[in-house]
Amino acid sequence: MHHFSSDGIDIAYIDEGEGDPILLIHGFASNMTVNWIDTGWVRTLKRAGCRVIAYDNRGHGMSEKLYDEKYYGAPLMAEDARRLLEHLDIPRADIMGYSMGARITAFLLMNHPHMVRSAIFGGYGINMARAIAGRHPIAKALEQGSIDDVVNRTARTFRQFAESTGSDLKALAYCYRAASEVIAIEDFKTIETPILVAVGSEDVIGGSATQLAEIIPGAEALEIEGRDHMKAVGDPVYKAGVLDFLKRRP
């Protein structure tokens, strides 16, 4: 585990393997260990000849916890990814984000396209172009004294996952309240970078991979059959699809 300062905020990261660099950005309430190490992604990518960099987003894992909405939001968090690549003297890399990490990846791509060789949007399809609904109940659920006080079914699921990953619930509540950025359809249409959109066929959070891929010029869609938002991330079909995409991309 390494640490670096991203504009004064402490960010924890790993840097393993040799070869073409790929940066992994985890989802909300997760961390690099749960999202990428425990699921076998780091091992799989290293075996495929990649240099694998992964980090804990601000407010998550071993990175610094911040208790104000102004420190969060995907465009701002994408700058942590940029600064990490610059810290490691990596001018250009493949980027793979899952769920919230896919949204962060999209903003990194749009704001710094020269740094992104290719991008993989995991766990987020067409819903990335739509407003995030139901933010208040989920943020409130993260602030409740006990999960027993959470009535909303979806909010309770988020709370359960956050507790299972040992997350700082207060920091996550601020992070979730700041997650309001919508990426316009017209912005997706301007992307020229190779893109793979990989989403479970049962993922109601991410939405259709095909619908988003049809908007982005030259993008590919990978539907992970029978998987929902939580179960798709470590699926062998997802891994095989990403390795094939990385092998073929320019």
Asked if 230 contacts 34 with a C-beta cutoff of 8 angstroms, the reply is no
Per residue in 2-35, pLDDT (tens digit) is: 999 999 999 999 999 999 999 999 999 999 999 9
Per residue in 153-199, pLDDT (tens digit) is: 889 999 999 999 999 999 999 999 997 778 999 999 999 999 999 99
pLDDT beyond 80 at 53: yes
Confidence band of 133 (pLDDT split at 50, 70, 90): low
Q: Is residue 146 part of a domain?
A: no
Q: Is residue 118 part of a domain?
A: yes
pTM for the model: 0.96
Residue 180 confidence (pLDDT): 74
What is the residue range of 45's domain? Answer: 2-131+184-248
pLDDT beyond 70 at 84: yes
In this prediction, what percent of the chain has a pLDDT beyond 90? 94
Q: Is residue 204 part of a domain?
A: yes
Per residue in 217-232, pLDDT (tens digit) is: 999 999 999 999 999 9
Residue 131 confidence (pLDDT): 78
Higher pLDDT, 155 or 131: 155
Q: Is residue 173 part of a domain?
A: no
Go through 173-189 and write b for each residue having 16 or more CB atoms within 10 A of its CB, e for each that does not: bbbbbbbebebeeebbe
Per residue in 90-106, pLDDT (tens digit) is: 999 999 999 999 999 99
Q: Environment class of residue 250 by beta-carbon count within 10 Å: exposed (0-12), middle (13-18) or buried (19+)?
A: exposed
When divided into structural domains, the chain yields a total of: 1
Q: Is residue 166 part of a domain?
A: no
Residue 159 confidence (pLDDT): 95
Rounded mean pLDDT of the chain? Answer: 96
Residue 250 confidence (pLDDT): 86
Tell me the CATH number at 219: 3.40.50.1820
Q: Is residue 73 part of a domain?
A: yes
